[in-house]
Amino acid sequence: MEKGSKALKIRSIIAHVVLVILSFMCLFFFYILLINATRSHAELQRGFSIIPSTHFIENFMNVANDGTFPMIRGVFNSIIVSGGSAALCIYFSALTAYALYVYDFKLKKVAFTFIMAILVMPTQVTALGFLRLITNMGLYDSLIPLIIPSIASPAVFYFMYSYLQSSLPLSLVEAARIDGSGEFRTFNTIVLPIMKPALAVQAIFTFVGSWNNYFVPALVLETKSKFTVPILIATLRGADYMNMDMGKVYMMIAVAIVPIIIVYLVLSKSIIAGITLGGVKE
């Protein structure tokens, strides 16, 4: 028993050391980002530093008051696009996964295979056709093409389908039908609460992926007032050497990660709450 307890203590110590190292490696880069956001362009040119400077407010005001650089508008655009994409993606992906999991029909395997085949198709392959389609629809230079396509997300669908297989007994759905519950009511009031951890996880991933997306917004958007955060950051970094201010670049990046951290903190609580809520078994 003593040997077993010593082995467990050693494993616990090793696990905690590894976790501390990994946490340090993850948080260190955020720390350096915040430090660089407090330094001026001249100080950044001198090299690396772990000591904060005194130019945080100055850098923030330079970014916020730059008439050619709509920072607040860009953050607002990214929140609209990322929030809308995440909401549409997780709901309709969960709805599609529910339909293929619960219903039996002749083309069920064909539909599942077709959806999974789309998963291996890169965005760049369909970019020209997508651009031509939204131009013909009069949606070019609009935020709508950045949100609506999120309804079809094969990767999120597969995650939801796998989660339903492991956590949703079909007898629960049948019992709801016997009690007179409609399909959408069953899905919205019974299935979605059970899927709460999966919804929270995929909402985080979808929000972050949409927030960091540069390729499609750069392809679709033309008006500066409609630019999202990644395009604005690229605009700052793309300035000529004489006019580029690295303090403003780091400040913009620091501002850009704040909504992501907030979304993660909010939804991480939903993951834990959902795990304790939905433990239904056959």
Rounded-to-integer distance, Cα 274 and Cα 1, Å: 37
Domain boundaries, the chain: 2-59, 63-277
**Helix residue ranges per DSSP H, the chain:** 2-37, 41-46, 56-64, 71-102, 108-119, 127-136, 144-147, 154-167, 170-178, 183-186, 192-194, 196-211, 215-220, 229-237, 246-277
Angle value at C-alpha 198, between 154 and 92, nearest 5 degrees: 45
Task: Name the band, by pLDDT with cuts 50, 70 and 90, for residue 280.
Answer: very low
Average pLDDT estimate for 239-268: 80
Tell me what pLDDT residue 148 has: 92
State yes or no: pLDDT of 279 exceeds 60: no
Cα separation, 262 vs 26, whole angstroms: 17
The structure's pTM equals: 0.82
State which fold the 63-277 domain adopts. Answer: MetI-like fold (1.10.3720)
What pLDDT band is residue 87 in, cutting at 50, 70 and 90? very high
What is the pLDDT at residue 143? 92
Confidence of residue 84 (pLDDT cuts 50, 70, 90): very high
% of residues, the chain, pLDDT over 70: 91
What pLDDT is recorded for position 281?
42
Confidence of residue 206 (pLDDT cuts 50, 70, 90): very high
CB 247 within 8 A of CB 257: no
Tell me the mean pLDDT in the region 20-29.
87
pLDDT higher than 60, residue 246: yes
**Under 8 Å between Cβ of 221 and 134:** no
Per-residue pLDDT of 157-201, as tens digits, reads 999 999 998 888 888 888 888 888 888 899 999 899 888 888 988
* Residue 248 CB partners (closer than 8 Å, separation 6+): 41, 59, 62, 63, 66, 69, 236
- The residue that leads in pLDDT, 89 or 269, is 89
pLDDT at 145 over 50: yes
- The amino acid occupying position 158 is Y
